[in-house]
Amino acid sequence: MLGIVGRADPARRPKYGGTLRVEIGAVVNSPDPAVAAANPEEAAAKERISALLYERRNADGTFAGVAGSGPFRLAEWDPGKHATLAANPEFRGGRAFLDSIEIQMGRAARDRLLDLEVDKADFAEIPPEEARRATERGVRVSTSQPDELLAIAFVAGRPIAEDARAREALSRSIDRAAIVNFILQKEGEAAGGLLPQWSSGTAFLFSTTVDPAGAKSLWSQISGSPKIVLGYDASDSLAQSVAERIVVNARDAGISVTAEGTPAGANAPADCDARIVRLPMAAPHPAMALTHFLAALGPGSGIDATPLADGASPQQIYDRERAIVSGYRVVPIVWLPQVYGLGARVRDWKAPAAGEGWPFADVWIGDAQ
């Protein structure tokens, strides 16, 4: 689904000028792509900002050229707090409509939503589970295609993680539909495979049905009193909610699972058998997306991380995806869309495709309605 939910902006002729007030939750300490991000959230935000500053990318996705060669250049940078991007009049694609973009970093989701409501912000990221409430509160919401996979990645080498029956039992016990309906408030899709339906076209072939009886049967085959410690990013409320729900589902199937929050950006602690991970799609193309997933998951989860060959056929992509999913080392849970809140002045906003940056070069500021 791609579009804008809420009050539609009337088609008007674009005009130059104005400052777009952006609020994000991440804290970006340096705009330099060469400086490593402290956590995935910072990395994603840094990617978005860099996409506004650089003209082009290399084949591997890294940015090419010099900073400021993109539609905007960096006018002001207060590390971790605030950034101002000014329009680059020499941009090869033409000057952006906006004069500048003011980015407030480290804003909590609730504050971002409030600022949108009181018109203190023009653009903000909204957690998917808050989309419904934001809409009910009159905020313009833009939702992308589901392009971020929330999954369980088992930690290779952990005894219980090496037991395929335990992995499958946990996968079968998860009520994905309930997670989508209740936790995500129906913003997202239950995930049985690694690629979304809109990208691969084969997602429907992967089951998302909850099977507590099957899970119980599998778990009972495991001797001893096994227990799975499921880690999640303690700063990620959605991951926490999902982890807690998985604990309930697992308990219903007789599986002993403990959810354990870990500091933001930290690797899974030594006693975690599995962890909740977010896997954003690097590109809409299934082969590229799957290759990126494998690269992200491979080192720690014990899956075959060999990249797909260029020009892999849909069947090859499916087979590879099926092979990975059948191993249950990665258990897909839900697909999440990117949800943005838009202020009343924002015109010509289109949700970016998977792997793309914010298309602020095409956005212009109109009169508030």
Partner 1 sequence: MTFRTKLFVVFMLALLLSIGVVAVGVAVVTRRAFEESNRQHSEALVTQFEREFAHHEQEVTNRVQGVADAEATVAMAIALSRPKADVSVYVNDARGVSQSHQLDFLDFIASDGSIISSNEWPARFGYKIDWITQPQDWSGAGSFLMKVDTQEGPALGLMSVSTVRVGDKDLYVLGGERLGKDFLASLVLPEGMRALLYLNLDPNFQPTNLVDEAGTVTEGERLASIVAEEQQNPSKRTFKVAWTPDPASAEAFHALPLLGRQKEVLGVLLVGSSQREEAALERRILLLALGVSAMGLLFGLILSWWGAARVTRPVRKLAEGAREVSEGNWAAHVEVRGRNEVAQLALAFNKMTQQLTEQRERLVQAERVAAWRELARRLAHELKNPLFPLQTTVENLQRAKEQNFDQFEEVFRESTGILLAEIENLKNIVGRFSDFAKMPQPELGPVNLNDVVRGIVKLFEAQFGAVGRPPITPELHLEEGLPTIQADATLLHRSIENLVLNAMDAMPAGGVLMLRTTHENGNVDLEVSDTGTGLTPEETDRLFTPYYTTKQHGTGLGLAIVQSVVSDHGGRIWVESETGVGTSFHIRLPQKPPQRPAAASSPAGESATAESAAGAEV
Residue ranges that bind partner 1, judged by CB under 8 A: 132, 175, 178, 181-183, 185-186, 241, 244-245, 247-248, 252
Task: Name the residue nearer to partner 1 (CB basis): 109 or 351.
Answer: 109
Q: How far is the CB of 12 from partner 1 (least distance, A)?
A: 35
Task: Name the residue nearer to partner 1 (CB basis): 16 or 182.
Answer: 182
Residue 232's Cβ-side half-sphere holds a number of Cα atoms within 13 Å equal to 24
Q: How far is the CB of 269 from partner 1 (least distance, A)?
A: 19
Q: How far is the CB of 313 from partner 1 (least distance, A)?
A: 39
C-alpha dihedral (258, 272, 306, 264), degrees to nearest 10 = 90
Q: How far is the CB of 136 from partner 1 (least distance, A)?
A: 9
- CA-to-CA distance for 92 and 64, rounded, in angstroms? 14
Task: Name the residue nearer to partner 1 (CB basis): 182 or 204.
Answer: 182
Q: Among residues 259, 160, 171, which one has the least CA distance to residue 207? A: 171
Q: Among residues 346, 318, 300, 106, which one has the least CA distance to residue 192? A: 318
Tokens of 204: 């429907």
Q: How far is the CB of 246 from partner 1 (least distance, A)?
A: 8
What is the β-pairing status of strands 123-126 and 19-23?
Answer: parallel
Task: Name the residue nearer to partner 1 (CB basis): 175 or 189.
Answer: 175
Task: Name the residue nearer to partner 1 (CB basis): 180 or 303.
Answer: 180
Tokens of 260: 């354990």
Task: Name the residue nearer to partner 1 (CB basis): 244 or 362.
Answer: 244
Tokens of 153: 């990645």
Question: What does 71-101 look like in DSSP terms, one character per residue?
Answer: SEEEEEEETTTEEEEEE-TT-TT---S-SEE
Q: How far is the CB of 230 from partner 1 (least distance, A)?
A: 12
